[in-house]
Chain A
Amino acid sequence: MITKLWLKDFRNFGEVLLDFKGKSNVFIYGENNQGKTNFLESIFFLGNGSSHRESKNENLVRFDTALSYIGLEVSKDDQKHKVYFKILKDGKRLGTFNQQLLNSTQLLKEHLNVEYISSDVIKTFQESPDYRRDVLNRFCGVLFSEYTATLQGYNRIIKQKNFQLKNIKKKESIDYWNDQLIEYSYKLITMRLKALVQMETQTKKFVAPIFPDFYESLIIGYSYHGIPLDSFTEENYKETLKRVLGDVFDKEKDLGFSIVGAHRDDFFLNIKKKELKRFFSRGINRSLSFFLRLAQIEIVSEQTGLRPTLLLDDPFAEIDAKNKAAIINVIDTESQIFYATIFKTDAQYFKKPAIIKIDTGGVECG
């Protein structure tokens, strides 16, 4: 649990020192554009060694200063640890963990599990398949140690194959790329399917108390783009993909890029055999996208044994008061929650929260 937070010249803040000792819920409210997201960003930075939305230091440091400091105290297993970051406008950033200089984020990841969910969570099923593949790839990358290397290899194959397709002069075989594409695609999808099964099970657990009608029929499935597949077995998938790759060769050559394989696949969430995005309200879309994200965090935290600190940046807009209360109630009470919103009345949904008001970078407790 994060017990103290110190900010100095971070974003639009001056100097702020806050004590959250004994408070598992921290409620942050303020009008638009006052610094609520910046506040959550500082905690995310301290937990992950980088911002979730900004890579340039100059935008993280207060406009009239050259550097900023941020720090927090976290208590874990009755021990206190201190994390500090010094962020210089010129691009350098230095982190320490218990006064030991950080060379990687490993130590942070071992002691803090800070996750951020914003109102953008609704995009999961609103955006293009690209967006969802990123969501799935990030999750699988955390869940399976070999996933990232396999994905890098796969992307390299696609890059080489696309380059060759663009420059192909005569009808020549590119099987030496396709054969590798089939192997890597199979490996990636095997891991993705395992991840989706876990996501479905965990999402259902969250959904059950709030939308009991959805529990039985909620399905998270995988779409094989352009591949007619009734069941996923190694032999079936590899043979089908090989045949399809042969069939689409001329089309791929005309287009100059590869059109089948794991890089084109997608996943979906259906309820009662109906697609979430097309047949359900934005409120339901938002709730289920939130639960899906929360399910990923839960699965990872079960794997690491480290309860997450949740930074919730107004993810419940468009959700009615009854469901909002129910959703907040479902979130694990063992996790520390920082909840930022424009609605002061949302504080009623939390048990004895620390209340923080943010007004033009000024922070007021009470």
Chain B
Amino acid sequence: MEKNPLDGLMTQLAKFPGVGQKSAQRMAFFLLSIPGKDVHAMASTMVDTRQRIRYCERCFNISFEKTCSICEDSNRDRSLLCVVSEPKDIFAIERAGQFKGNYHVLGGLISPIDGILPESLRIKELIDRLKSESPSEVIFAINPTIEGDATILYLTKILSSFDVKLSSLAYGLPVGSDMDYADELTLQKAFQGRQGL
């Protein structure tokens, strides 16, 4: 009996995050159903993007150029520096449209279990930027996990000698959500971070 001709394609597609065998099969049949030129465009875009993408020399966001579009944008507020773990965090913050400053991507969070120690992160580069750009505020937009908190604690100590305001994002209830569904720790944090009206 002939081997399933889609096996090779499905194996590759199943490497995408969140894609299992069933989804991979659906995607494979979808690729068969669309015109060949579209498949070609998809594949060549993937290869081209992968080859051309690089890290911004200043903030380590992903970019096709030496510096990313955010760093190049002269309208952004240079006095605010938002420290994030990964480039994808920048995309999330940019979608909200609230923050108009610049970013710095650490490239992970301190996690010895995964072999990530402080020296593996782009902390030296962050310090260099503080010296050269002298922002007035550094905002940590880092996930509220044990590793995220450890990273913030570490950075707070390292950066405390600089004349810069340090802040981190507030914890609390998601907008539009029901308090009934909030977990206990989130509610605790929301109470701790309550604001006067």
Contacts and interface: CB of A to CB of B under 8 A. Distances in A.
B34 interface: no
Given A153-B146, A160-B111, A175 B185 contact: no
Nearest to A163: B112
Interface in B136-191: 146-147, 149-151, 153-154, 157, 183-185, 188
A150 interface: yes
A145 B149 CA distance: 22
B197 interface: no
A180 B153 contact: yes
A146 B188 contact: yes
B157 A175 contact: yes
Interface string A287-325: 000000000000000000000000000000000000000
Contact of A146 (B150, B157, B185): B185
Nearest to A144: B184
B110 interface: yes
Contact of A176 (B150, B183, B184, B188): B150
B113 interface: yes
Interface residues of A, number: 19
A160 B147 contact: yes
B53 interface: no
Contacts of A179: 153
Given A145-B184, A150-B185, A153-B146, A164 B157 contact: no
B184 A177 contact: no
A150 B113 CA distance: 20
Contacts of B146: 153, 156-157, 160, 180
A174 to B, nearest CB: 9
A235 B84 CA distance: 32
A180 B150 contact: yes
B32 interface: no
A163 B113 contact: yes
A176 B157 CA distance: 9
Contacts of B6: none
A79 interface: no
Contact of B150 (A145, A150, A160): A160
Nearest to A184: B146
Given A176-B151, A176-B157, A180-B153, A164 B184 contact: no
B117 interface: yes
A163 B147 CA distance: 13
B185 A149 contact: yes
A223 B48 CA distance: 62
Nearest to A154: B146
B183 A149 contact: yes
A167 B147 CA distance: 17
A179 B154 CA distance: 10
A146 B184 contact: yes
Specify which of A146, A161, A176, A179 lies most central, judged by the most chain B CB atoms within 10 Å of its CB.
A176
A272 interface: no
A225 interface: no
B181 to A, nearest CB: 13
Interface in A131-190: 145-146, 149-150, 153, 156-157, 159-161, 163-164, 167, 173, 175-177, 179-180
B110 A176 contact: yes
Given A149-B184, A163-B112, 12 more contacts: A146-B185, A149-B183, A153-B185, A160-B112, A160-B146, A164-B117, A167-B117, A176-B150, A176-B151, A176-B153, A177-B150, A180-B150
